[in-house]
């Protein structure tokens, strides 16, 4: 009985040491991965990387991680010929293939969201006479206000516009209807302000835009991807 008790105690101690070593390895790997993602993607800040699954060391031995979560606030992305600030970026990466030094990492598939404020969406419009705000209507609808000059007189119209994703890379904003009150040429002038396409650049290779949902504070962009290159 005493021998059995001793074996149990030893087993518990060894198990605790293994868990401690495993968690220490995870902490080191998360920091290494975060720094590698920051440098390889040219990010201004360091992402928060969380490696899921236990034990971690057996995942490393197989050179594949079950799931890695990446969070980053304040990342800058390109939008046409200008840049916009994505206030939050949150991605879940699955089946991540790595090498022993974390110098390369490719996720088999990825999902996530990015949040773009109305202030940044207004900047993406690229015109001081255009503003974008919450419409409080459909899930992909926003309110866009455009100011134009007609026969020397300033005219302002606010329209309900639908935000969609085109080709997995571009955000498209289109007015549903433009009230003209019979003013000739007004719809065309307003649409020249309120309707625009902006390609979003600077995301990791393999990530695509999926859909857009309007919220009170901005738009949430759903992201998907396969064979996403995170480092290397």
pLDDT confidence tier of residue 101, bands split at 50, 70 and 90: low
Indicate whether 12 belongs to any domain: yes
Q: Assess whether 198 and 122 both reside in one domain.
A: yes
Q: Assess whether 100 and 197 both reside in one domain.
A: no
Q: Assess whether 28 and 106 both reside in one domain.
A: yes
- Measured distance CA(77)–CA(104) in Å, rounded: 22
pLDDT at 179: 86
Domain total of the chain: 2
pLDDT confidence tier of residue 2, bands split at 50, 70 and 90: very low
DSSP the chain: -HHHHHHHHHHHHHHHHHHHHHHHHHHHHHHHHHHHHHHHHT-SS--EEEEESS-HHHHHHTTEEEEEEEEESSEEEEETTEEEEESEEEEEEEEEEE-TTSS-EEEEEEEEEEEEEHHHHHHHHT-TTEEEEE-SSSTTEEEEEEEEEETTEEEEEEEEEEEEEETTTEEEEEES----TT-TTHHHHHHHHH-EEEEEE-SPTTEEEEEEEEETTEEEEEEEEEEEEEE-
Q: Assess whether 123 and 204 both reside in one domain.
A: yes
Q: Assess whether 36 and 101 both reside in one domain.
A: yes
Indicate whether 98 belongs to any domain: yes
pLDDT at 132: 92
Q: Assess whether 99 and 25 both reside in one domain.
A: yes
The pTM assigned to this predicted structure is: 0.75
Q: Tens digits of per-residue pLDDT, 49-61? A: 777 766 666 666 6
Indicate whether 132 belongs to any domain: yes
pLDDT at 199: 84
Q: Assess whether 28 and 100 both reside in one domain.
A: yes
pLDDT at 134: 93
Ranges 60-74, 179-193, 216-230: which has the least confidence:
60-74
Indicate whether 33 belongs to any domain: yes
Residue 14 has pLDDT above 60, yes or no: no
Kindly report the average pLDDT of the chain as a whole number. 77
Residue range(s) defining the domain that contains residue 191: 118-221
Q: Assess whether 95 and 129 both reside in one domain.
A: no
Q: Assess whether 23 and 43 both reside in one domain.
A: yes
Q: Assess whether 214 and 122 both reside in one domain.
A: yes
Q: Assess whether 55 and 155 both reside in one domain.
A: no
Q: Assess whether 100 and 167 both reside in one domain.
A: no
């Amino acid at each position: 009985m005493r021998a059995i008790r001793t074996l149990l105690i030893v087993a518990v101690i060894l198990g605790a040491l293994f868990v401690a070593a495993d968690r220490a390895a995870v902490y080191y790997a998360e920091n290494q991965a975060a720094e590698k993602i920051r440098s390889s993607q040219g990010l201004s800040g360091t992402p928060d990387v969380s490696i899921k699954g236990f034990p971690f060391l057996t995942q490393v031995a197989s050179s594949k991680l079950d799931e890695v979560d990446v969070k980053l606030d304040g990342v800058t992305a390109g939008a046409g010929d200008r840049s916009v600030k994505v206030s939050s970026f949150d991605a879940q990466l699955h089946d991540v293939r790595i090498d022993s030094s974390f110098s390369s990492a490719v996720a088999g598939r990825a999902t996530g969201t990015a949040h773009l404020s109305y202030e940044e969406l207004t900047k993406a419009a690229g015109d001081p006479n255009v503003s974008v705000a919450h419409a409080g209507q459909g899930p992909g609808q926003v309110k866009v206000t455009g100011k134009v000059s007609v026969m020397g007189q300033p005219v302002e119209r606010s329209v309900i516009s639908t935000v969609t994703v085109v080709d997995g890379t571009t955000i498209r904003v289109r007015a549903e209807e433009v009230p003209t009150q019979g003013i000739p040429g007004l719809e065309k002038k307003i649409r020249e302000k309120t309707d625009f396409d902006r390609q979003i650049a600077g995301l990791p290779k393999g990530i695509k835009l999926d859909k857009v949902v309007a919220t009170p504070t901005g738009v949430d962009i759903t992201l998907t991807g396969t064979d996403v290159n995170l480092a290397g």
